[in-house]
Amino acid sequence: MIETSAVKYYVANCEERLIHSSAGNLAYRILISRPKEAPPEGGYPVIYALDGDAVFNTLAETVRLQTRKPHGFDPAVVVAIGYPSREPFDMTRRCYDMTIPAQKDSLRARPNGEEWPEHGGADQFLDFIEHDLKPLIAAELPVDQTRQTIFGHSLGGLFVLHALFSRPQTFQNYVAGSPSIWWGAHEVLKQKAPFVDKLREQEGACQPRLLVTIGGEELNDMVKDAEQLVRELQLTVAGFDVRLAKFPEEGHVSVLPAAISRLVKFALEKKPQK
């Protein structure tokens, strides 16, 4: 029998922090992956990801592989937002953080039959990201302020759409994975028209970009909602970069690795020079 000794395994250049929001004093477990390489001119691109305990390891490794030289993208920082519970999907916390206000009778029944946890805190969560977390990262690392991305899946995808529609200046790239557009009888879509009007007013100026990802075997209404949203946005404003990535044979959870791979490409590709 071969004798072995077990040692703890640490991922190089990765760390975690416990941070409390300045408003509400809510605790967040922040997972950070720093590049080994020197920053490119202008600073590091940064990818912020929700549900950090579910996606951080896959996302950090995907970034590490896709930024290898000589042919890879520029080195990038990954910042994933998780919770002290360390659950991949902490339903109590994420339901509050990632959703917009909605009437209880407008919400579909949960598969487990339980009541929905407290919800409607998306603006407070966005405040934490914008006013607490982003300044902390920028104070410690050289950040390219023109190449920042936010990614969320499911309710996190709903949150990404809310962030885009309500505060499009916060990030340059928005990636909504399998977004729960159905939430509150499609409440988030009420924000779309004012957002479109703002884009039209600023036509020709630097605009945010949107990628929506979806698995081909997800619920039919989720696939339809994602496709319809992208189709409508593509027809609204000339020059608005909005894309759909649909992955056949993938369900709501199995789609995550494919979505993360496409997210990295979308976040780190450089716009062609005009």
Question: Domain boundaries in the chain?
Answer: 14-268
Contact 172, 209 (CB under 8 A): yes
Residues in the chain: 274
* Rounded-to-integer distance, Cα 159 and Cα 125, Å: 9
Residues 6+ positions from 74 with CB-CB distance below 8 Å: 40, 44, 45, 67, 268
CA distances for 67 relative to 16, 74, 207, angstroms: 22, 6, 25
* Rounded-to-integer distance, Cα 94 and Cα 111, Å: 17
* Rounded-to-integer distance, Cα 98 and Cα 159, Å: 5
pLDDT for 205: 65
For the chain, strand residue ranges (E) read 14-20, 27-33, 44-49, 77-82, 143-153, 173-177, 209-215, 242-247
Q: Running DSSP on this structure, what letter comes out for residue 41?
A: T
Burial class (CB in 10 A: 0-12, 13-18, 19+), 43: middle
14-268 carries CATH number 3.40.980.10: no
Burial class (CB in 10 A: 0-12, 13-18, 19+), 273: exposed
Residues 6+ positions from 81 with CB-CB distance below 8 Å: 28, 29, 30, 31, 48, 49, 50, 51, 52, 129, 133
Give every residue of the chain whose pLDDT is below 70, as ranges: 204-205, 271-274
pLDDT for 50: 98
Nearest to 259 by CA among 163, 157, 131, 128: 157
pLDDT for 239: 80
Residues 6+ positions from 141 with CB-CB distance below 8 Å: 34, 39, 43, 44, 46, 77
pLDDT for 161: 98
CB atoms within 10 A of CB 178: 29
| Identity of the amino acid at 250 | E
